[in-house]
Structure 1
Amino acid sequence: MDNYPSCYGVTVINTFFRPRSLLALTLSAALTFPTNVMSADPIELPSIGTTAGGTLTIDQESIYGEAYMRMLRNSYPIVNDPVLNEYIDSLGHRLVANANDVKTPFTFFMIRDRNINAFAFFGGYVALHSGLFLHAKSESELASVVAHEIAHVTQRHLARSMEEQARRTPATIAALAGSLLLAIAAPEAGIAAITATTAGSMQSQINYTRSNEREADRFGIATLAKAGFEPDAMPRFFSRLADEYRYASKPPPMLLTHPLPEDRITDTRERAQQYPPMRIMPSLDYHLARSRIVARYAGINSDAAMDWLERTERRTSPEIKPAFEYGRALVYLDTRKLDQAEEILTKLLRDDPNNNFYLDAISDLYIEKGEPDVALKKLEAALKNKPRNSVLSINHANVLLKKERYQDASRALQRYTHDNPEDVNGWHLLSEASDALGRNDEDLAARAEILALKANWNKAIQFYTQASQIAELGSLKQARYDARIDQLMEQRDRFLNLR
């Protein structure tokens, strides 16, 4: 299903949090570098991940995290791509399942930005820039970034940094939390703010951040090893980035908040060497995701995307050749060269009939060709093997809409939004189906959910109020709308109290 943003870039968000002093060099998300192992002597790691209990509880962290995520949705180019989201979520939770000290659910998402960066924040939220896929040459390298970020969360580095800052700076928890969250997503703001601090305070913060980075490296490598990734992927990726940007006048955001001095690289290399060397087969799914990003989210034209696919394919192993064919098929599809796209996708799907990357693309293809029945048949067959799979379900609902089977689409989307309430794609399609059916109240309710996901509480409440007025007086539907209004008002008040 095609659903990718037309905008590109990142804007600093400070609408709701009004920090009194930005925390310089806060531990925004350091890259994680996955390492995995079949068997190795366990590395003794200190149990220091809960020392921030006196500052914020886990529940409070979750409240801040949810609030900040809503702000990001409103102001950042979040990638709402079902196939990529499924891949990132699968990779992230494979790592979480092998991490220590996990006390919160995790949410993984992507921001469309060619800069190399990743960051984590309260509540288990981990963001990856799409540019990471252009620089990580293997799934293990990408996983190393994610594992590092997971360690920042499990070891509660944000809360611990805030506790450290609170000892030296008179400020409310809200102000400190706002500073931390701002510096995470906008590291340049944190760096600029450091000029206003004293030299002693600056050195203290730098030391504290470096300590957290090393700790995240240690825990990240242990997690990666347990999850089955290459142990040396982290130092390999670190070294390549350090070499590439050693003399750069403007390093990527990741290196602003996660500097790579030689001793840090050496430390990760020595730790990786404590595990037996291993080489794993290249991940086709990783390279399919990478090709999809090049074709649709890299901010380059179709000729440049084709050139990248051709050049990169020459240096890769035969096992991942289908990923480059897939990338070319997407370029053909997006430039409406439908016959060329169909030829490639038909072959790919014949060889791998249950692959969601291919099923998603071929459903878009047959919609574009004016043959939605073909797409519907393939999706319904796939759903028998993977019922309620999010990628297949959203594509299935989209095809029903294109076939003007609005009643069926509405039922499918009611189920989908129940299972995936934070996916704006589902709410957009439900709004479309409701509008086509003349159900103005349900259209307003779906649009209200999108607004609430983006922290636009007042407008969301207004839309639900209008929906309640339209619904039959005393009906279950009206009661449901009224109950949702109460929930949104409570969430809004809790959100505004964070300022």
Structure 2
Amino acid sequence: MLKHTRSLVCLCIATALSAPTPAFADTLNLPDIGTAASGTLTIDQELQYGDAYMRMLRSSAPIVSDPVLNEYIDSLGHRLVANASDVKTPFTFFLIRDRNINAFAFFGGYVALHSGLFLHAQSESELASVVAHEIAHVTQRHLARSMEEQARRSPATLAALAGSLLLAIASPQAGIAAMTATQAGSMQGQINYTRSNEKEADRFGISTMAQAGFDVNAMPRFFGRLSDEFRYASKPPPMLLTHPLPEDRITDSRARAQSYPARRVDPSLNYYLARARIIARYAGIESQAALDWMNRKGQGVSEDIKPSFDYGKALIYLDSKQLDQASTLLHNLIKQDPNNRFYLDAMSDLYIAQNQAGKAEKMLETALKSAPNNAVLTINYANALMKQNSNADAIKVLQRYTHDNPNDVNGWHLLSEANIHLGVSDEDLAARAEILALKANWNKAIQYYTQASQIAELGSLKQARYDARIDQLMVQRDRFLALQ
């Protein structure tokens, strides 16, 4: 499944360049090599390309639709974005379930992280160094600039490259084959340009990390460890193929980091909780092996991060139906930190597994008073209502949620399920249509909305809403197809 995704990303995006981080040019004293890329793509065009790529990825890549992890990486990413310069697009951060170490960014401010990064990054600052690097690729518009550079070398190259990118939208394999052929003549120039982008991204990334309060030395430390680990590997991880780590790049990032004042950064419990959640649920490890990992890694750690290992064990017990063991750990954790959403999410799952969904509902109602409209709490709250057959109430919650979070498939899936329970087939079809549209399955989405419109009462507001959405989807489909 990831084969097409990697091909598209590696050649369309990561190979053509990687994904740099925002910059503070006055402090970095970098030469002005241009960020406008006006000869290639406008910002609006980049947003259209980014939206198209994202829909393709949803249909082909194992994207992690986990509200708790999504909230964590979104918080981390936007903490960095808030301290970046030259930000011209919104940013979207998402996880792909893949044990390989990799990250990439593409048009429109989309940044993907492989879950494998959490298996190798030893601190939040190390993870932040990768995210900051990718943010810089977006803010410095390296993909557009790379295309512009190729166009300068040969006017035919840009047209051929653009055609290959567009072809890849409809047929990834054919698009990659076409791109490989058209780029052969200028490959060396492209590689050199990419390496300069990588160094620029590192420099801007370190500056962004410093502004955001992270340990800037985490970047050269993480890079150095990866380089040592995979120096003689016959098959290095994708990240080292698309983000090469020659010695001068590591040396340069180390020197850059050392130019900043030393800063002590406390361990981030949320990072370690996210890491434990990935080990427990997304690393493809057998439950006993995952428990052994938690016990082994949890020995001798500081009190600040010790709860993360108990949390990881609680998830493993919960998923393997060992509810008593999970209950003991989770009750102790939530007693220490009653508003922690990692714990609230797990406790909600525990109550539901114990056939006590009413307790989950009350707990989440209380939590929502402190954090109204929070995605993690709202999704869990709707789920708890549904488990008590309060589907009508759940639908009211989910209608607001999907309005505020239209790109979250979790909300649409639950909305579909709740309407199925009530026998409201037109609203079920509409919810499923939205999931299909998010995956660029335009025709099927339009078909579902058409069926919903036929079921709805003639002339009703509901039918008018469906028909209006059909018109919107047709416009989106035509815009998407026009990129081919």
TM-score (norm 2): 0.93
Contact 1:35–1:144 (8 Å) recurs in 2: no
1:243 corresponds in structure 2 to 228
Aligned length: 475
Equivalent position amino acid for 1:406 in 2: N
Over residues 371-406 of structure 1, what are the superposed CA-to-partner deviations in whole Å (9 max), with x where a residue is unaligned?
Answer: 111111111110111111000000000000010001
2:349 corresponds in structure 1 to 364
* Residue 174 of structure 1 pairs with residue 162 of structure 2: yes
Structure 1 position 10, deviation (Å): 1.6
1:6 corresponds in structure 2 to none
Contact 2:17–2:197 (8 Å) recurs in 1: yes
For 1:383 and 1:172, the matched residues in 2 are separated by: 52
Structure 1 position 25, deviation (Å): 3.2
For 2:431 and 2:220, the matched residues in 1 are separated by: 46
Contact 1:35–1:140 (8 Å) recurs in 2: no
Tell me, what secondary structure is at the counterpart of 1:238? helix
2:184 corresponds in structure 1 to 197
Contact 1:23–1:179 (8 Å) recurs in 2: no
The percent of aligned pairs where both chains have the same amino acid is 70
Tell me, what secondary structure is at the counterpart of 1:298? coil
For 1:406 and 1:463, the matched residues in 2 are separated by: 22
Contact 1:284–1:319 (8 Å) recurs in 2: yes
Tell me, what secondary structure is at the counterpart of 1:277? coil
1:438 corresponds in structure 2 to 423
For 1:301 and 1:67, the matched residues in 2 are separated by: 36
- 2:15 aligns with one of 16, 22, 25: 25
* Residue 79 of structure 1 pairs with residue 67 of structure 2: no
Structure 1 position 196, deviation (Å): 7.7
For 1:51 and 1:107, the matched residues in 2 are separated by: 21
* Residue 482 of structure 1 pairs with residue 467 of structure 2: yes
Equivalent position amino acid for 1:10 in 2: L
For 1:194 and 1:255, the matched residues in 2 are separated by: 23
Residue 13 and residue 259 in structure 1: after superposition, are their counterparts in 2 closer, same or farther (change >3 A)? Answer: closer
2:30 corresponds in structure 1 to 45
For 1:246 and 1:107, the matched residues in 2 are separated by: 32
* Residue 272 of structure 1 pairs with residue 257 of structure 2: yes
Tell me, what secondary structure is at the counterpart of 2:111? strand
Contact 1:118–1:127 (8 Å) recurs in 2: yes
Contact 2:14–2:105 (8 Å) recurs in 1: no
For 1:134 and 1:468, the matched residues in 2 are separated by: 48
For 2:202 and 2:61, the matched residues in 1 are separated by: 27
Tell me, what secondary structure is at the counterpart of 2:305? helix
Structure 1 position 202, deviation (Å): 2.3
Structure 1 position 44, deviation (Å): 2.4
For 1:403 and 1:319, the matched residues in 2 are separated by: 37
For 1:225 and 1:22, the matched residues in 2 are separated by: 31
* Residue 96 of structure 1 pairs with residue 84 of structure 2: no
Residue 64 and residue 223 in structure 1: after superposition, are their counterparts in 2 closer, same or farther (change >3 A)? Answer: same
Larger helix percent: 2
Over residues 117-158 of structure 1, what are the superposed CA-to-partner deviations in whole Å (9 max), with x where a residue is unaligned?
Answer: 000000000000000000000000000000000000000000
Over residues 261-290 of structure 1, what are the superposed CA-to-partner deviations in whole Å (9 max), with x where a residue is unaligned?
Answer: 000000000000110111211000000000
Structure 1 position 163, deviation (Å): 1.3
Contact 2:334–2:344 (8 Å) recurs in 1: yes
For 2:34 and 2:68, the matched residues in 1 are separated by: 33
Residue 176 and residue 98 in structure 1: after superposition, are their counterparts in 2 closer, same or farther (change >3 A)? Answer: farther
For 2:462 and 2:223, the matched residues in 1 are separated by: 55
For 2:183 and 2:44, the matched residues in 1 are separated by: 32
Q: After the TM superposition, which residues 236-315 of structure 1 pair with which residues of structure 2 at under 5 Å, given as runs? A: 236-314=221-299
Unmatched tracts of structure 1, length 5 or more: 1-8
Structure 1 position 259, deviation (Å): 0.6
Equivalent position amino acid for 1:86 in 2: E
Equivalent position amino acid for 2:163 in 1: A
Equivalent position amino acid for 2:3 in 1: T
- 2:106 aligns with one of 121, 129, 146: 121
Structure 1 position 172, deviation (Å): 4.7
For 2:434 and 2:479, the matched residues in 1 are separated by: 17
For 2:76 and 2:84, the matched residues in 1 are separated by: 13
1:12 corresponds in structure 2 to 4
Structure 1 position 46, deviation (Å): 3.9
For 1:271 and 1:420, the matched residues in 2 are separated by: 39
Equivalent position amino acid for 1:485 in 2: I
Contact 2:136–2:201 (8 Å) recurs in 1: yes
Tell me, what secondary structure is at the counterpart of 1:319? coil
Over residues 392-446 of structure 1, what are the superposed CA-to-partner deviations in whole Å (9 max), with x where a residue is unaligned?
Answer: 0000000000100011011011011011100000000000111111111100000
Contact 2:132–2:205 (8 Å) recurs in 1: yes
1:350 corresponds in structure 2 to 335
Contact 2:28–2:204 (8 Å) recurs in 1: no
For 1:480 and 1:174, the matched residues in 2 are separated by: 37
Equivalent position amino acid for 2:301 in 1: T
1:333 corresponds in structure 2 to 318
For 1:97 and 1:22, the matched residues in 2 are separated by: 27
For 1:449 and 1:22, the matched residues in 2 are separated by: 27
Structure 1 position 50, deviation (Å): 2.0
Tell me, what secondary structure is at the counterpart of 1:78? coil
Residue 47 and residue 448 in structure 1: after superposition, are their counterparts in 2 closer, same or farther (change >3 A)? Answer: same
Unmatched tracts of structure 2, length 5 or more: none
Q: After the TM superposition, which residues 459-478 of structure 1 pair with which residues of structure 2 at under 5 Å, given as runs? A: 459-478=444-463
Contact 2:102–2:113 (8 Å) recurs in 1: yes
For 1:261 and 1:87, the matched residues in 2 are separated by: 31
Residue 24 and residue 75 in structure 1: after superposition, are their counterparts in 2 closer, same or farther (change >3 A)? Answer: closer
Tell me, what secondary structure is at the counterpart of 1:276? coil
Tell me, what secondary structure is at the counterpart of 1:109? strand
RMSD: 2.5
Equivalent position amino acid for 1:71 in 2: M
